[in-house]
């Protein structure tokens, strides 16, 4: 196992992690921004108003993107398992 192989495997793992997490994080960020603007305009400073919409949107995003996320993670896992003989060298 060469250092280049380890670095490329780590890069692929980080790319996969970011790609899988991106839809939920992006939607949570957008909803958080909209709620913050709403709070600034109406001067309502309720703490639960920021968390509940974000939790609901992230849950809906998880349900909506779950199939794609699982396929992507399975592809990464299958590739990693298929390369096990190269790890031993």
Predicted local distance difference test score (pLDDT) of residue 44:
84
| Whole-number Å distance between alpha carbons of 34 and 12 | 33
Give tens-digit pLDDT for 6-40: 899 899 999 999 999 999 999 999 999 999 999 89
Give tens-digit pLDDT for 31-70: 999 999 998 999 888 888 888 999 999 999 999 999 999 9
The answer to whether 1 and 89 have CB atoms below 8 angstroms apart is: yes
| Whole-number Å distance between alpha carbons of 89 and 1 | 6
Predicted local distance difference test score (pLDDT) of residue 89:
66
């Amino acid at each position: 196992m060469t250092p280049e192989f380890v670095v490329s495997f780590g890069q692929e793992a980080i790319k996969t992690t970011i790609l899988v997490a991106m839809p939920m994080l992006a939607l949570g960020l957008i909803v958080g921004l909209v709620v913050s603007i709403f709070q600034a305009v109406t001067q309502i400073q309720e703490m639960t108003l920021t968390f509940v919409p974000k939790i609901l949107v992230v849950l809906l995003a998880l349900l909506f993107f779950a199939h794609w996320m699982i396929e992507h993670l399975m592809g990464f896992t299958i590739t990693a398992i298929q390369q096990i003989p190269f790890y031993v060298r």
